[in-house]
């Protein structure tokens, strides 16, 4: 008997069923409330926004249980009771306090120095980009300036490039003589050159070789440079993108030669070129020459970009030569 009331076994059981859950809920409520206002929120996780690509702070999303407890405790902690409509607590509710979001700006990665104005690839890419006029033509002075830098880059790479660049150097010099010669006004662009040489009767008959290469038409000389540019572009692209354990540089540049130039050369020159290809340095050495002092990944990326510019120039020139009927001059 407790205070004059006899607790039978069923009555005791009912009392315990109500008292124990209430006690547990009360303890959880007090513990959660104390931690909530002492520690939450401590850390704002970061997320990357789709629009800007920058890292920004994001307020944490409370769990459903915590949201329920906030709603229940807000009235107690601010002097408001559930069910009372006229209640104006002082200050914002805990769930309304949000830390100011400050975006964290991640600086963009700098491009390798070799693509800069004084870099090996940058000096080559700049005039080749400039030679492609907005009107769809190819400006010859800038095209030849790009070739000068390409020859400067290719010559130290090995005997196979020396074999090709020696011929290219002669053709660049011959075409520069026309660009800066007495008829310079007709050699400002590929289109103006092709139109004038056709009207002046300077074009060779298709399939015939010039008796004196120095006296060849500017259109024929540019066609030969155009083919050599394709070989250089293919070779450099394959050096940049070749996979580890795949074909070595010699095999890849040999395939590029077969694709771009071999069919235009006599048998003896083809054999000499294939022998020279065997002396090419390894991929790592070529990448270091292209982008000195740079890691392999950055050097590959830079050389890929340079090869893409050469491809764009080749495609533009190919379209113009085809449009003027000059692809069969040599």
Q: How does pLDDT run across 153-201, given as a tens digit for each residue?
A: 887 765 556 666 778 899 999 999 999 999 999 999 999 999 999 999 9
Residue 130 lies in a domain: yes
Residue 45 lies in a domain: no
Q: How does pLDDT run across 244-256, given as a tens digit for each residue?
A: 677 788 888 888 8
Q: How does pLDDT run across 57-83, given as a tens digit for each residue?
A: 344 444 444 444 334 334 333 344 444
Label each residue of 282-310 as H, E or C: CHHHHHHHHCCCCCHHHHHHHHHHHHHHH
Kindly tell me if the per-residue pLDDT of 55 is higher than 90. no
Q: How many residues does the chain have?
A: 330
Residue 19 lies in a domain: no
State which residues form the domain around 262.
113-323
Residue 39 lies in a domain: no
C-alpha 107: how far from its chain's center?
16
Kindly tell me if the per-residue pLDDT of 220 is higher than 70. yes
Residue 97 lies in a domain: no
Give pTM, 2 decimals. 0.65
CATH number, domain of 179, equals: 1.10.3520.10
Residue 163 lies in a domain: yes
Give me the residue label for tokens 């329920």. Answer: 68
Q: How does pLDDT run across 98-112, given as a tens digit for each residue?
A: 434 344 443 445 778
- The per-residue b/e assignment along 275-306, b for 16 or more CB within 10 angstroms, e otherwise, is ebbeebeebeebbebbbeebeeebbbbbbeeb
CA distances (Å), 261 to each of 20, 228, 269, in order? Answer: 91, 7, 10
Residue 47 lies in a domain: no
The Cα 132–Cα 318 span in angstroms is: 13
Mean pLDDT over the full length of the chain: 74
- 313 vs 31, higher pLDDT: 313
Give the closest residue to 284 by CA, choosing from 254, 324, 249: 249
Residue 258 lies in a domain: yes
Query: What's the mean pLDDT in 265-282?
Result: 80
Q: How does pLDDT run across 299-309, given as a tens digit for each residue?
A: 999 999 999 99
Number of domains in the chain: 1
Query: What's the mean pLDDT in 233-242?
Result: 91
Query: What's the mean pLDDT in 16-35?
Result: 54
Q: List Cβ neighbours of 9 (8 Å cut-off, separation of 6 or more).
A: none
What is the token pair recorded at 197?
Answer: 């040489």
For residue 281, the model assigns a pLDDT of 78
Kindly tell me if the per-residue pLDDT of 279 is higher than 60. yes
């Amino acid at each position: 008997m407790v205070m004059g009331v006899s607790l039978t076994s069923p009555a005791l059981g009912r009392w315990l069923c109500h008292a124990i859950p209430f006690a547990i809920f009360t303890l959880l409520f007090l513990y959660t409330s104390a931690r909530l206002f002492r520690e939450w929120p401590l850390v704002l996780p970061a997320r990357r926004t789709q629009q800007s690509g920058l890292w920004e702070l994001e307020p944490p999303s409370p769990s459903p249980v915590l949201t329920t407890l906030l709603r229940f405790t807000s009235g107690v902690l601010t002097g408001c009771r559930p069910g009372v409509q006229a209640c104006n607590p002082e200050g914002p509710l805990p769930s309304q306090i949000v830390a100011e979001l400050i975006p964290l700006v991640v600086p963009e990665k700098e491009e390798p120095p070799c693509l800069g104005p004084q870099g090996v690839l940058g000096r080559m890419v700049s005039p080749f980009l400039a030679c492609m006029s907005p009107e769809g033509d190819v400006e010859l002075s800038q095209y030849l300036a790009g070739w000068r830098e390409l020859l400067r880059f290719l010559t130290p790479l090995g005997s196979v490039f020396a074999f090709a660049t020696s011929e290219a150097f002669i053709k660049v010099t011959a075409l520069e003589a026309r660009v800066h010669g007495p008829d310079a006004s007709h050699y400002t662009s590929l289109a103006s050159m092709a139109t004038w040489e056709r009207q002046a009767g300077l074009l060779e008959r298709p399939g015939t070789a010039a008796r004196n290469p120095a006296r060849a038409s500017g259109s024929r000389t540019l066609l030969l440079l155009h083919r050599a540019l394709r070989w250089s572009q293919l070779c450099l692209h394959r050096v940049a993108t070749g996979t580890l354990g795949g074909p070595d540089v010699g095999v890849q540049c040999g395939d590029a030669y077969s694709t771009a130039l071999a069919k235009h050369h006599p048998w003896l020159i083809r054999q000499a070129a294939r022998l020279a290809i065997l002396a090419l340095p390894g991929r790592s050495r070529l990448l270091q020459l292209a982008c000195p002092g740079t890691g392999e990944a950055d050097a590959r990326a830079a050389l890929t970009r340079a090869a893409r510019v050469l491809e764009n120039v080749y495609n533009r020139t190919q379209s113009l030569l085809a449009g003027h009927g000059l692809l069969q001059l040599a």
